[in-house]
Amino acid sequence: MEKEYFVHETAIIDQGASIGKGTRIWHWVHVCGGATIGENCSLGQNVFVGNKVAIGNNVKIQNNVSVYDNIQLGNDVFCGPSMVFTNVYNPRSAISRKTEYKNTVVEDGVTFGANCTVICGITVGRSAFIAAGAVVNKDVPAYALMAGVPARQIGWMSEYGEQIPLPLEGTGEYRCPHMGLCYHLKGTTMECGQQ
């Protein structure tokens, strides 16, 4: 039976891995047998995907990214080149901590810029945008724009991937000219809807 996804001849896909239709797996990628990868994903050169990993649909993982055990990526996530996920908070070479892996949850639509680092045990909210080189060490609200070391919130991003202008004009609302979605800032929470 012909595969419904593409695997480059240099890639290693361990038996048992679940890979969705239309996904493309490029040079020198290793996908472990317990991994689940959705449809229409792209895994760039030298990507590693661990056993206890779930990746949604339409996820783009650029070159040199390792998605270790206990990481869950939602749909439409973008992982920039050489960005880093961790799964142990306090690693030591001489001490095995495989029973101490912490779960990291990335919700739909998140973008990780090149060379950013995500410390394990956090949730990154829907459509958040992590700037290149940032170090994220705490939960990130939906639509937050995060930058710096350690990362701090410097604004809000739309689902289209543009910064939402603040302060929101008079009504407390911003309508995206590209997608027509309306954003409402309520205290420290950004909400998005059709109207």
Residue 195 scores a pLDDT above 60:
no
Of 2-16, 32-46, 181-195, the poorest mean pLDDT is in: 181-195
- Residue-range domain boundaries for the chain: 6-164
The CA distance from 149 to 121, in Å, is 18
> What is the number of alpha carbons within 13 Å of residue 155 lying toward its C-beta?
13
Strand 30-31 relative to strand 42-43, pairing: unpaired
| pLDDT at residue 68 in the model | 98
Q: Is 81 helix (H, G, I), strand (E, B) or coil?
A: coil
* Virtual torsion, Cα 53, 58, 60, 61, nearest 10 deg: 10
| pLDDT at residue 170 in the model | 59
Tell me which fold the domain 6-164 belongs to: UDP N-Acetylglucosamine Acyltransferase; domain 1 (2.160.10)
State the DSSP code for 98.
Answer: G
Long-range contacts of 51-60 (CB under 8 A, 24+ apart): 52/101, 56/108, 57/20
Look up the pTM and report it.
0.95
79 pairs with which residues across the strands?
Answer: 61, 112
pLDDT digits (tens, 9 = 90+) for 104-141: 999 999 999 999 999 999 999 999 999 999 999 999 99
- With contact defined as beta carbons under 8 Å apart, do 129 and 159 qualify? no
Q: How far is CA 157 from CA 70, 185, 193, in A?
A: 27, 12, 14
pLDDT digits (tens, 9 = 90+) for 48-93: 999 999 999 999 999 999 999 999 999 999 999 999 999 999 999 9
pLDDT digits (tens, 9 = 90+) for 145-177: 999 999 999 999 999 999 998 766 656 788 999
Per cent of the chain over pLDDT 90 is 89
Q: Which residues have a Cβ under 8 Å from the Cβ of 107 and sit 6 or more positions away?
A: 74, 123, 124, 125, 126, 127, 128, 142
- What residue type is assigned to position 186 of the chain? K
